[in-house]
Amino acid sequence: MSTSYIAYHPEQQQLLPSALQDWLPQGHLAYFISDTVDSLNLSAFHARYAEGGPRNQPFHPAMMVKVLVYAYATGVFSSRKIARKLHEDVAFRVLGADNFPAHRTIRDFRALHLSEFTELFTQVVRLAREMGLVKLGTIAVDGTKIKANASRHKAMSYGRMQTTEMELKAQIAALVQKAKNTDEAEKNEPELDIPAEIERRQARLVAIAAAKARLEERQRQADTQRARTPDDERKPKDKDGKPKGGKPYQRDFGVPAPKAQDSFTDPESRIMKRAGGGFDYSYNAQTAVDETAHIIVAAEVINISSDVQQLPMVLAAVKAHTGKAAQQVLADAGYRSEAVMAELAKTQPDTELVIALGREGKVQAKPRDAQRYPHTVAMAAKFQTEQGKSDYRKRKWIAEPPNGWVKSVLGFRQFSMRGLQKAQAEFKLVCMALNLRRMGAMQMS
């Protein structure tokens, strides 16, 4: 007796058209994102198309936003992969509603609406607050390094730039001289497109000169912050310009170290140390996470590897996104700064700071000069109390999981776009997608 199976007829055509809404189960993330985007203000997206003029008929902005947000929420960041998913993935097809924009259209839409996506992040944070998922009782701040869209092989150190610059100038001079030679002298030599060779080397020379100028300007700014002046003759001086003790500076004002590097593909990225060892061209992504439901209430990107001066910027972003300052802020020792704590005491007096003065498990040096470091001394006293220790222990499980979700769950480990402004907008898009994923999961629970 033959086995009886459930009917399977792949060649059978559907007699009636199916509804897109029947393709996914109720409560699917795609439906939550679709409903949420419909509730947001997309007027800024529509405004770009209101002027009219000769052009192809654009895709509806709401559809494009839904597809991009869902793509980032499910770890799909490449415009080519998103375009392919619109044909192959049921959830993408439901959101696209039988629209199939090409990958160039998706890429251009994302790049064209950077400021609009930044504003959507704020709208989603405020929506989460209305849902009771953001209460701003306690937030934790943390930073993580994310690779820039820059090739390590298309970068050069300052010392190598100087050497290559001289070599290129010599090669250009030799080619120009060769072009002046008589035809008789070139009869037995291989054919060479001398103008093209000169143009190629000159373009390289211009790129190197621009990279050198960026490194020198960066060094001048760093030297100015160290209270150096162009006429200091490498001798340390106090704020009144008088010589003071200490070793002389190794280089003149504004001269970078020979090992200082600059990227030709993304000049605004910086070499930063990565977890586990090694260095990459990266950006420093700063997040502020609310304790209630791990919603990211601020997502900023900088091209400075240190976290020490970033707390005021992040807390100002929290207030701008939510309209309210947090009651308590937790931060690790990377944010420790007497000047920063003094600034925040004036600008956000109602916010309690809990900032570690050293690494956990290590013996911490206790500051004693209460007149010179009053906020640091007060913070050290706070960490001597059980309440202070208990408050700080919450930092790890509040701040670090969202960064782990961004990198390990979504798989976002490298920016798709180049430049600081674009990286800032893309990180907000990533964090908005993660917030919506969290909000959808919390709604279902």
Contact 302, 286 (CB under 8 A): yes
Residue 151 has pLDDT above 70, yes or no: yes
**For residues 48 and 52, what is the distance between their CA atoms, to the nearest angstrom?**
9
Contact 434, 308 (CB under 8 A): no
Q: What is the mean pLDDT of the chain?
A: 83
Cα-based distances in Å from 228 to 212, 225, 237, 251, 259: 20, 7, 8, 11, 21
The stretch 244-272 carries a mean pLDDT of 76
* Two tokens, residue 278: 């090694």
Least confident of 91-95, 204-208, 285-289: 204-208
**For residues 143 and 288, what is the distance between their CA atoms, to the nearest angstrom?**
9
Contact 82, 104 (CB under 8 A): no
* Two tokens, residue 442: 């919390």
Contact 126, 321 (CB under 8 A): yes
* Two tokens, residue 22: 């029947």
Measuring CA to CA, which residue among 177, 399, 390, 183 is closest to residue 295? 399
Contact 292, 405 (CB under 8 A): no
The stretch 275-296 carries a mean pLDDT of 88
Please indicate whether residue 156 or residue 334 has the higher confidence score (pLDDT).
334
**For residues 295 and 433, what is the distance between their CA atoms, to the nearest angstrom?**
11
The stretch 38-49 carries a mean pLDDT of 88
Residue 80 has pLDDT above 90, yes or no: yes
Residue 8 has pLDDT above 70, yes or no: no
Residue 181 has pLDDT above 70, yes or no: no
pLDDT tens per residue, range 310-354 = 999 999 999 999 988 999 999 998 899 889 999 999 998 999 999
User: Which amino acid belongs to residue 274?
Assistant: R
**For residues 160 and 168, what is the distance between their CA atoms, to the nearest angstrom?**
12
Residue 239 has pLDDT above 70, yes or no: no
Contact 420, 13 (CB under 8 A): no
Contact 258, 271 (CB under 8 A): no
The H or E element that residue 91 is part of is helix 90-96
Residue 429 has pLDDT above 90, yes or no: yes
Cα-based distances in Å from 197 to 179, 182, 203: 11, 18, 10
**For residues 367 and 345, what is the distance between their CA atoms, to the nearest angstrom?**
19
* pLDDT score for 417: 87
